[in-house]
Every structure is written in structure tokens, then in C-alpha cells.
């Protein structure tokens, strides 16, 4: 797979996930040789708000670096290049001095729903241009929302970066993004793979707010001396532009060609199929985005609530997620659950949806409730797959923290009727994809090498009989959603522009929120 040049060197892949910063040190020949994670919290100051402070991301990068330097010193010293991956759609807003103006507004923030209606009305062809209909977690409507809700902050904007690109700025000093992350802004012309003048104009975005677009495997800059000193790496290391986390995850698994498929079960969830052409399909809430490899796009069904509802319920129950998943596996029954804790994208495109349980009695246990949550996550993936499928789905390579649950993975395989395969070492993911892009950037891999898939896989084969039993419950899950969606819309309509919780409604808000994870 690798070319001879510099074969002793290793690549550092950094993935700025929503629940944690993940770092891997990898080589093209050996795959991942060391890894470290540092957790992150999501702030939810209002019922539709999801935010993180960029300084917390940097602190987490320093933590994973210190851990790798301590626990894998030889690999750490062999790092010859850095690659980046990160949660998509986040808006990091900087003033003219480069200072962060306010906390980053994340991909699952729903406050900009009114601005989405405005964009859809003013630009009827927006979905065919931007690859996705207006959705509130995307930067364009969020910037419009900010102009109304926080005009003083909006007036200071000199630059907007996506999360991994803000890390890039800290590392090498350049304001750079790549096509796969630019794809998730609603400001990007997917077919031309460049910023779109009509979309920028509609959202009131100045061209010079936006970063330069480089290829994902191009060198964006070199490690600055100050960042090098903080992380304990040599100054001048090349840093590749990298990719948004869905594309980087696909690169990590070799899901780059037509006929490949990926399922990602992280905080969010995705099913992703690479395509050779840009093929928008906005009516079904399918995202058609530029891939991290040149001349490729992908079609994607995207869930705002992937495995995170499981972590949320573990937090509510005050137990470890692994313990509750064991109880869920042993449970014989489960109440119906809707997992839409932050609204949902595919297939509903509805920021007002919320979570619900139905069918509980005094005998209901927490294990049964957890099983209901796991089933709900699997049902969401079934809805996503149905929206995405144009014919039979290919077998899917899996990534993300939720893939650790055999119960969930088997349920999804049963419902989708396709084989799902998880890398045995579970190391292939966005951070590994970022390391691979860095390897291409410094000539340690060829772009063609990115199609290589993980060697050892744990396979979940679909079971027809179980699938029929689950399908009956999926119908009731859909009926519960249909019954509650009008109530959600009515309550959502009463949320003020600021996004603050209206009195008397049940929309949850907290200063901080996240379950205990693993
Ligand atoms: N032991 C476990 N079994 C199954 N799922 C888990 C376990 N530990 C954590 N998770 C799930 O993994 C999710 C985080 O996945 P991850 O891919 O790390 O997310 P992100 O990239 O968003 O940071 C959590 O929301 C949680 O539900
Ligand atoms: O919204 C999307 C993709 O459209 C997600 O990819 C987010 O970027 C968050 O990813 P995770 O933190 O769940 O990995």
C-alpha cells in the first residue's frame, strides 16, 4: 500500500468529535499503532441550543497529545505529518483580531429554524445547489439567526470556520478548509466544489469571512512554533487540510468508491454511499456532499440522534452505558421510544421533534427502557436507510462509538436486511481517515491506496425472522412519531427568536448535558 519514501514515519490523525477529541498515530503499513481520547461536553443553554467552546477543543487536543507522548513515546517521535477531521456544520466565529466571538454553534443546534423557512422561500432551488435543503444546524441559517438574536456578536464577525479548520488555524495559522467540510455549510456549490455567490448573498455572508478551499490531502500549512511547543512536536510538521468527520470516517474505512457503503453510529448517525456524480435529492432530506477524494461525492442519510440517546439515558439512569446495554440485552420487552432529543434530519427535517417513551407500566425496568432506546436508534437508522435506498443497499462498513454495542449493530443489520461489518480493532474511524489523508499529503500513500478496507472484520448478518418481528414494532414507532409531530410543531412555533424556553412548555434545557459515555 505504501510507497518506499520515508517509510519510517508515522502520521497523527486528530478527530474533533462531539463527545471527544480522538487522536491516532498510524502508518500505512501497520494501521493504528497508538490512540488516545479526551472527552468533551456539549452545552445546551436553551431547548434548541447546542454549543461548545473552541478553547475546550484545544485543551482536549493538548490532553491527547500529552497522553500519546507519555504512553507511546517512540510513535510520538516518529510523527511526520498531521491530518484533521471534525464534526461538521459547526460555526466558529472570529473577530478581526482572530479572537473567538462566542461559543461555537454546533451541527445539532436547532435555533435557526425560522431562517431555514426564509432561505427555502427566497431560493427555491437551494437544495439542488447546496446538496441539502435548509436545515437549522448548518452555518448559513445560523449566521442569519445570529444577526437577529445577537446583533452585537454578528457585527464583529470577520471570519467563520468549521471546527476542524479552527484547530487547523491554531496549528498552522492558515484559514483553510476542504471540499467535504465546506459541503456542510449551505454556502457551497457542490457541483462546482466552490463557495456559491447566491448562497452567500442569501445568508448575508461576506466572501472574505470564508476560508480558502484546498484538497483534503493537500498540505494546508506547517506546525507553528507556539503550537509545536504546546503539543511537544517539532515545529514545521506538515498539516493536511483533512475532511469533515463523515468523509474522514469513510476514508478511514476505504469507503471511497461506487458500490461501497458506510454506517456511522456516533453522537450523530449516518449511512453514506459514494457516488461518481453530484446527485441532489433534497426532498427526502438526503445530503449530497463533496467527498474527501477528488471527483467523488456521496449520498447520505443523516441522523442528529445516533448513539447519543443511549448515553443520555445512561446519564439519566445514573449507570454506565455498558451496564445498561447488558440489562437491555437481557430484557424481554421494551416500551416504544422516540429518540429525537435534538429534533431530526433524515427523513423528517424537523427541529421541533423531541424524545418520548410510550407503553410503560409500573413493572417497567430501566433495562427495558434502555432496550426501548436501542430499538428507537435502530428504527431511526431503518427510516434513514429507506429514504436513502434507490435499490438494495450494499453491505456497510461501520464506525463510531455506538458500534461497540452488538445488540444495536445486530438490530440495525436485521432491520436493514444487509450485512454490517465493524473493524475488529474498532480503530478505523475519522481519526484514522485523517491520518491516511496526511499520509497521502506527504507521499507515504497514493490516493488510490485510500480504497483499501480494514483486514479483520466482525460481521453482523441480517436475520430474516427477527427482521419481520422488528418490522411490526417499526410500524408502531412510525405511528407514534406521526401522532406526536403535530404537538412538537405547535410547541416549536411558540419558541421565541432568542431560542429561550417558553414558559409552560416541556422543551428541555440545561447548563450542561451529556451522559457518562463508555
Ligand atoms: N460501551 C458502549 N457501547 C455502545 N455505545 C457506546 C459505548 N460507549 C459510548 N457509546 C456511544 O458512543 C457515542 C459516541 O460515539 P463517538 O463515535 O465517539 O462520537 P463522536 O464522534 O460524536 O464524538 C456516545 O454517544 C455513546 O452513546
Ligand atoms: O452532522 C453530521 C454530518 O452531517 C455529523 O457528522 C456531525 O459532524 C457530528 O458527528 P459526530 O460527532 O457524531 O461524529
Instruction: Name which residue sits closest to atom 19 of ligand 1, judged by CA.
Output: 266
b/e 336-367 (16+ beta carbons within 10 angstroms → b): bbbbbbbbbbbbbbbbbbbbbbeeeeeebebb
**Mean pLDDT, the chain, integer:** 93
Instruction: Please tell me what DSSP assigns to residue 198.
Output: H
* pLDDT, mean of residues 138-165: 98
CA distance 283 to 425: 38
Q: Note the pLDDT of residue 395.
A: 96
Q: Is 89 in the pocket of ligand 2 (CB under 6 A)?
A: yes
Distance 29 CA to ligand 2 centre (A): 28
CA 490 – CA 200 distance, rounded (Å): 31
- For residue 46, what pLDDT band results from cuts at 50, 70 and 90? confident
3-state helix, strand, coil split of the chain in percent (to 5) is 40, 25, 40
Measured from the alpha carbon of residue 315, the closest ligand is 1
CA of 426 to the centre of ligand 1 (A): 12
CB distance 92 to 83 below 8 Å = no
Binding residues: 88-89
* pLDDT in the model for residue 512: 39
Which atom of ligand 2 is nearest to 302's Cα? 4
Q: How far is the CA of 18 from the centre of ligand 1 (A)?
A: 10
Decide: 18 in ligand 2 pocket, CB within 6 A. Answer: yes
Q: Is the peptide bond before 347 cis (omega within 30 degrees of 0)?
A: yes
What pLDDT is recorded for position 514?
A: 44
Helices 366-388, 406-416: crossing angle, 10 deg rounding: 40
Cβ of 298 below 6 Å from ligand 2: no
pLDDT single digits (tens) 418-444: 999 998 777 779 999 999 999 999 999
Q: Provide Rg for the chain, Cα atoms.
A: 22
Phi, psi dihedrals of residue 287, rounded to the nearest 5° = -95, 125
Residue 394, class by beta-carbon neighbours within 10 Å (0-12 exposed, 13-18 middle, 19+ buried)?
Answer: middle
CA 121 to chain centre: 28
Binding residues for substrate: 88-89
Q: Which strands sit side by side in the sheet containing 396-399, from one edge to the other?
A: 286-290, 297-303, 269-275, 262-265, 396-399, 420-423, 457-460
* pLDDT at residue number 8: 57
> Is any ligand 2 atom within 6 A of the Cβ of residue 57?
no
Closest ligand to residue 271's CA: 2
The protein residue with its alpha carbon nearest to ligand 1, atom 25, reads 308
Please report the atom of ligand 2 found closest to the CA of residue 308: 13
For residue 107 and ligand 2, the question of a CB distance below 6 A is answered with yes
Active site residues: 245
CATH number for domain 10-246, candidates 3.30.413.10, 1.10.1040.10, 3.40.710.10, 3.30.420.40: 3.30.420.40
Q: Does 302 sit in the ligand 2 pocket, CB within 6 Å?
A: yes
From the CA of 22, how far away is ligand 1's center (Å)? 12
pLDDT value of residue 455 = 86
Q: What is the pLDDT of residues 302-326, one digit of tens each?
A: 999 999 999 999 999 999 999 999 9
Residue with cell 416504544: 336
Using CA atoms, how far apart are residues 165 and 450, in angstroms rounded to an integer? 22
Q: Residues of the chain with pLDDT > 70: what percent?
A: 95
25 in helix, strand or coil?
A: strand
Closest ligand 2 atom, CA of 17? 12
The CB of 280 under 6 Å from ligand 2? The reply is no
Q: Cell 457518562 identifies what position? A: 516
Per-domain residue ranges of the chain: 10-246
- Ligand at minimal distance from the CA of 514 is 1
Does ipTM top 0.90?
Answer: yes
Residue 468: count other Cβ atoms within 10 Å of its Cβ: 10
pTM of the entire predicted model: 0.94
For ligand 1, which residues put their CB under 6 angstroms from it? 17-20, 266-267, 307-308, 310-311, 321-322, 325, 400-402, 404-405, 517-518
Average pLDDT over residues 400-408: 96
> Is the pLDDT score of 494 beyond 80?
no
Please give the pLDDT value at position 4. Answer: 38
CA of 41 to the centre of ligand 1 (A): 13
How much is the pLDDT for 135?
96
- Can you give the pLDDT at residue 505? 59
**At residue 246, does pLDDT exceed 80?**
yes
pLDDT bracket for residue 200 (50, 70, 90)? very high
Q: How far is ligand 1, taken at its centre, from the CA of residue 311, in Å?
A: 7
Which atom belonging to ligand 1 lies closest to the Cα atom of 429?
17
pLDDT bucket at 189, cuts 50 / 70 / 90 = very high
Q: How far is CA 327 from the centre of its chain?
A: 28
Amino acid at each position: 500500500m505504501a510507497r518506499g519514501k520515508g517509510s519510517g514515519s508515522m502520521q497523527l490523525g486528530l478527530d474533533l468529535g462531539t463527545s471527544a477529541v480522538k487522536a491516532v498515530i498510524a502508518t500505512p503499513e501497520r494501521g493504528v499503532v497508538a490512540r488516545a481520547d479526551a472527552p468533551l461536553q456539549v452545552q445546551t443553554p436553551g431547548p434548541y441550543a447546542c454549543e461548545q467552546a473552541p478553547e475546550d477543543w484545544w485543551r482536549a487536543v493538548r490532553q491527547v497529545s500529552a497522553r500519546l507522548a507519555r504512553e507511546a513515546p517512540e510513535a510520538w517521535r516518529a510523527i511526520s505529518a498531521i491530518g484533521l477531521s471534525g464534526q461538521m456544520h459547526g460555526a466558529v466565529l472570529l473577530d478581526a483580531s482572530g479572537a473567538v466571538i462566542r461559543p461555537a454553534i454546533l451541527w445539532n443546534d436547532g435555533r435557526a429554524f425560522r431562517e431555514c423557512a426564509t432561505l427555502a422561500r427566497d431560493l427555491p432551488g437551494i437544495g439542488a445547489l447546496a446538496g441539502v435543503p435548509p436545515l437549522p444546524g448548518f452555518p448559513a441559517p445560523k449566521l442569519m439567526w445570529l444577526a437577529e438574536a445577537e446583533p452585537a456578536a454578528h457585527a464583529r464577525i470577520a471570519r467563520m470556520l468549521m471546527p476542524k479548520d479552527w484547530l487547523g488555524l491554531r496549528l498552522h495559522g492558515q484559514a483553510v478548509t476542504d471540499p467535504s467540510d465546506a459541503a456542510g455549510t449551505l454556502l457551497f456549490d457542490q457541483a462546482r466544489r466552490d463557495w456559491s455567490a447566491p448562497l452567500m448573498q442569501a445568508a448575508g455572508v461576506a466572501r472574505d469571512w470564508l476560508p480558502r478551499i484546498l484538497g483534503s490531502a493537500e498540505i494546508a500549512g506547517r506546525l507553528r512554533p507556539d503550537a509545536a511547543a504546546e503539543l511537544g512536536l517539532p515545529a514545521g510538521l506538515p498539516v493536511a487540510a483533512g475532511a469533515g468527520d463523515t468523509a474522514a470516517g469513510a476514508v478511514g474505512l476505504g469507503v471511497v468508491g461506487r458500490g461501497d457503503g458506510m454506517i456511522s453510529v456516533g453522537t450523530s448517525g449516518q449511512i453514506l454511499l459514494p457516488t461518481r456524480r453530484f446527485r441532489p435529492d433534497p426532498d427526502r432530506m438526503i445530503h449530497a456532499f463533496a467527498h474527501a477524494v477528488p471527483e467523488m461525492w456521496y449520498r447520505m442519510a443523516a441522523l442528529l440522534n445516533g448513539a447519543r440517546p443511549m448515553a443520555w439515558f445512561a446519564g439519566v439512569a445514573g449507570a454506565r452505558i455498558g451496564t445498561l446495554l447488558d440489562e437491555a440485552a437481557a430484557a424481554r420487552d421494551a416500551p416504544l421510544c422516540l429518540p429525537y432529543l435534538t429534533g431530526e434530519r433524515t427523513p423528517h427535517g424537523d427541529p421541533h421533534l423531541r424524545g418520548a417513551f410510550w407503553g410503560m407500566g409500573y413493572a417497567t425496568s430501566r433495562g427495558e427502557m434502555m432496550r426501548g432506546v436501542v430499538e428507537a436508534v435502530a428504527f431511526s437508522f431503518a427510516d434513514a436507510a429507506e429514504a436513502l435506498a434507490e435499490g438494495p443497499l450494499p453491505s456497510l462498513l461501520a464506525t463510531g462509538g455506538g458500534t461497540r454495542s452488538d445488540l444495536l449493530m445486530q438490530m440495525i443489520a436485521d432491520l436493514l436486511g444487509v450485512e454490517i461489518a465493524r473493524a475488529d480493532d474498532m480503530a478505523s474511524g475519522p481519526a484514522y481517515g485523517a491520518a491516511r489523508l496526511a499520509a497521502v499529503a506527504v507521499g507515504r500513500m497514493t490516493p488510490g491506496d485510500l480504497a483499501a478496507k480494514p483486514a479483520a472484520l466482525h460481521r453482523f448478518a441480517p436475520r430474516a425472522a427477527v427482521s419481520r418481528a422488528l418490522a411490526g414494532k417499526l410500524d408502531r414507532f412510525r405511528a407514534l412519531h406521526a401522532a406526536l409531530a403535530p404537538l412538537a410543531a405547535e410547541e416549536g412555533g411558540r419558541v421565541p427568536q432568542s431560542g429561550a424556553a417558553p414558559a409552560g412548555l416541556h422543551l428541555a434545557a440545561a447548563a450542561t448535558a451529556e451522559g457518562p459515555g463508555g
